Structure formats: structure tokens, C-alpha cells
Amino acid sequence: MKSRLIVIAASLFLFAPAGFAKDPAFDAFYAKFCDALKRNDKESIASMTRLPYLWNDKKLNKREFIAKYDQIFGKKVRDCLVKQKPVQDKTYFSAFCDDDIYIFEKIKNVYYFTEIGVND
């Protein structure tokens, strides 16, 4: 019986969908990211964003990103993101709010918010 449970547990781990995987480093990053969203802390969000950030065909530096922050992370988006459980793909995590996908990637061993895509 015990060996059967071990086989079942191993099978679940090996054949789990991509979104099932856990990464404690991402979990810590996303908790910090959500805390900054709740506090509407533009500086902290900018520090967790890969800059320059491409917005409407323009590369934003930190100062420009902070100036556009309310357009990028309006209250509705902030409220949505803090409730999300991002899913993991092979190379990134994503969180869905309405028609947008918020993407988080690990770059040089550090997680960043990298882009917003369209949920098709």
C-alpha cells in the first residue's frame, strides 16, 4: 500500500501540468509585488519591473514608467492582480485580468514584471 502511494505521488509530480509547478522564489516575488500594488507603491513596482518597459511603442525608463503607472496599473487592475494565482509556463509566470495577461519572467536569477499581453 505504501509503495503504491509513493508511485501515485511520483506520477502526479512528473505528469503535472506546467501551472502546477511551484517556485518559492516566484511566490516570494509575487507576494512582494502584490503588497506594493495594495500600497500603490509606484517606486517598488518600478523596481520590480524590467526597464526600459515597452508601453505603446515607447521604451519607458524608471521616471517615465512611474509617470504612466496609473495607466498601467489602474485600481481595477491592482485589485484584480492581488487576487490572482499566477500560472507557470515553461519560461514565465502569468496572471490574467480581463483581456490582459500580466507576465513575470526570471532574468539573471531575479523575477521581474516584464509585459502585458492580450488574452486571446
64-111 pLDDT, tens digit each = 999 999 999 999 999 999 999 999 998 899 999 999 999 999 999 999
Give me the numbers of helices (H) and strands (E) for the chain, helices first please: 5, 6
88-98 pLDDT, tens digit each = 998 899 999 99
Is the sign of the CA dihedral 31, 37, 42, 48 positive or negative? positive
Tell me the C-alpha distance between 70 and 55, whole Å: 13
* Res 20: pLDDT: 47
CA torsion, points 7, 13, 14, 17, in degrees to nearest 10?
Answer: 140
Q: Please give the grid coordinates belonging to residue 98.
A: 480581463
The residue extents of the domains of the chain are 24-118
Topology of the domain comprising 24-118: Nuclear Transport Factor 2; Chain: A, (3.10.450)
6-29 pLDDT, tens digit each = 333 333 344 444 444 578 999 999
Give the length of the chain.
120
Residue whose C-alpha cell reads 513596482 in the numeric block = 45
Considering the entire predicted model, what is its pTM? 0.80
Rg (CA), the chain: 17
Q: Please give the grid coordinates belonging to residue 75.
A: 485600481
Residue 29 burial (CB count, 10 A): 20
* Res 105: pLDDT: 97
Residue 41 burial (CB count, 10 A): 14
33-44 pLDDT, tens digit each = 999 999 999 999
Residue 4 pLDDT more than 50?
Answer: no
